[in-house]
Structure 1
Amino acid sequence: MSVYTSVSRAELQAWLADLPVGPLESSQGISAGIENTNYFVHTSGGRYVLTLFEALHGQALDFYLQLQARLAAAGFPCPCPLAFPDGSLQRPLAGKPAALLTRLPGAPREAVQAAHCLRIGRELARFHQLCRALPDAPAHTRGPDWRRTTAARLTSHLDPARQQLLEQALALDAGLPWRDLERGLIHADLFRDNVLWDGEQLGGLLDFYFAGTEVLLFDLAVTANDWCLDPSGRPEAELEQALLAGYGEIRPLSAAERQHWPAMLAVAALRFWLSRLEVALAPRSGELVTLKDPEDFRRLLACRLAACPANKPRQPAAT
């Protein structure tokens, strides 16, 4: 959630005129995130988030906005887009498709405990269950094909040690039985900065614009790779166990999912190492842009690969 597209007060006032929110009082750009332009908007009718979509448009964007409307109607804690009089959830603003969504209470937590991970596990499983058999769901855009092509494009920018790490991770990725594991709509980006807490109460989950059809276990691994780390960025077993316990209350993992969990954690780390490398090598311009260090996920990937059973040294047989 960065600011790539500037919106004047006059433009925003005119755009808001057909929504039941009252006169504009203030707006402020939001610097966190990297994909879309976002503003906090305060009107006489309440507090909202304005999103201008830098890449999404048309039917693809309609899917994500309708997804959030559907989830909110089902009582799931997520932003709900406001509808214009013609029923549409988006209209152009400053040359970009834009939507106004409810602003949920709370703020992200940097430090989390087992109780937070337990709750997030439950909510992620609820999301997976609510989105089963969702019509017109797009494919996940950061799947195995994207990882292979992105790695091929970036490898020349890496030193030999990092190239070797990348090759090892891609081999593990290629060896996973992607077609045999349960699939559905995944959030794909459920990091701590996409979850709001109002004190100890869950305020809501944000940023569904990477959602797509993929292996559900991958989504759980993406979540674990942010929520279940100690302050130094290394895996924390207690937090991971809490996340898995919460998830399993709603959707227990199969034997195959449990078997491939260590490898999936590594592949999930690979996905974000690649995406952060991609942004770092070709940053986008904007008024407020936050770049994230690829090395965080490079170190985590190395740690996850070392923990995979296939990469552990074999113990000598008992005699």
Structure 2
Amino acid sequence: MAVYTQLTQSDLEQLLSDYDLGRLVSFKGIEGGIENTNYFVTLEQQGKQSEYVLTLFEELSYEELPYFIELCQWLSEREIAVPYAIRDRNGIGLKKLKQRPAALQPRLFGDHVQQDELTPAHCASIGQVLARFHSAAESFYMKRQAHRGVFWWRRESELIADKLPVADAALLREEVAAFDQLRARPGDIKLGTIHGDLFHDNVLFQGTEVSAVLDLYNAATAYQLFDLAIVANDWCCNPDGSIDSKREQALLEAYGAVRPYTQDEYTAWPILARSAAMRFWLSRLIPWLDEHSEQKLKDPDELKRILLYRREHPGTLP
């Protein structure tokens, strides 16, 4: 369920009075999200109907959102297809509705592709788009520390250690230490703005071409290669946790053709592929170990299997 805040026609019309986008025709709650309330909104102006998405932010505060609002507008201006807050007639994109931060965005069209239907062509397309995303965001003027980055995983891996089998707790500690060693001497691993959560269900396709990249609310300043590793672990994995070499090769070659890898990134890739698996294994473990949590959404063992495969079969960049 993704409609946590119910809106009326009057609520919508009050918000729309700040814009010059036309009259309200219809609106409908969007099912299937997790964190925010979303509505499809149809407006009509001069006989032409246009589609929008209204998002009410249920977890992020008004003070936390300017980074994401500015980033999405920045990327959109550089022809990266992401949702962005439309500015009202006073130039304001971040609004407030029913005591919640809100943003009215153009509706982006395309289809989700299931994980078991992803092909090398899909992976090549997202590789190219992600490289363009990183290049476009490289000069973005705002910085943000990931809320589930290195400091978080150091702390949380220790907090849950006594709830885990001894081998799992040791595995987490080893992976945290491996990333710390890399971070101490990163060399010329490129740092920039990353998406941070680019799983396949956060992308829309038209055919095998990416038509939109969604849900940028985990974006942060981090290693660009870490972002690519998140994609590789999700888009190129098999049910048993192994990596499909054809899909991964297509992904990595397409990315590198747009944003060439640095020398130190060739060395860092096997470690960051493991770090990306560890980070999401950890974030899935926490609610599963909490008997009071209502968000046991995804199986943590899926990422553990990927991590173990990455340890046993270190990958290489093309």
Whole-angstrom CA distance in 2 between matches of 1:54 and 1:252: 38
Given the superposition, is the C-alpha separation of residues 295 and 41 from structure 1 closer, same or farther in structure 2, using an over 3 Å criterion? farther
* Counterpart residue type for residue 49 of structure 1: V
Alignment of 1:105-254 (within 5 A): 105-110=109-114, 111-177=117-183, 179-180=186-187, 181-254=189-262
Match of 2:266 among 258, 261, 264: 258
CA-CA distance at 1:39 after TM superposition? 2.9
Whole-angstrom CA distance in 2 between matches of 1:233 and 1:38: 33
Which residue is 1:30 aligned to? 31
Q: What do residues 97-130 of structure 1 show as CA deviations (whole Å, max 9, x unaligned)? A: 0111111111211111111111111111111111
Which residue is 1:312 aligned to? none
**Structure 1 portions without partners, runs of 5+:** 310-319
CA contact (8 A) 1:165 1:302 kept: no
How many percent identity over aligned positions? 36
CA-CA distance at 1:155 after TM superposition? 2.0
Alignment of 1:23-62 (within 5 A): 23-32=24-33, 34-44=34-44, 45-62=49-66
Given the superposition, is the C-alpha separation of residues 290 and 39 from structure 1 closer, same or farther in structure 2, using an over 3 Å criterion? farther
Given the superposition, is the C-alpha separation of residues 38 and 150 from structure 1 closer, same or farther in structure 2, using an over 3 Å criterion? farther
Q: What do residues 137-182 of structure 1 show as CA deviations (whole Å, max 9, x unaligned)? A: 2122222111101212222322223223222222222222354322
**Greater CA deviation, 275-284 or 14-23?**
275-284
Q: CA RMSD in A?
A: 2.3
Which residue is 2:106 aligned to? 102
What is the TM-score normalised by the length of structure 2? Answer: 0.87
1:6 matched to 2:8? The reply is: no
1:16 matched to 2:10? The reply is: no
Q: 4+ residue stretches of structure 1 with deviation over 4 A?
A: 281-285
CA contact (8 A) 1:42 1:48 kept: yes
CA contact (8 A) 2:122 2:209 kept: no
* Counterpart residue type for residue 100 of structure 2: K
* Counterpart residue type for residue 103 of structure 1: R
Which residue is 1:316 aligned to? none
**Structure 2 portions without partners, runs of 5+:** none
If asked which structure has higher relative contact order (CA below 8 Å, sep 6+), I would say: 1
Given the superposition, is the C-alpha separation of residues 227 and 272 from structure 1 closer, same or farther in structure 2, using an over 3 Å criterion? same
CA contact (8 A) 1:62 1:89 kept: no
CA contact (8 A) 2:3 2:30 kept: no
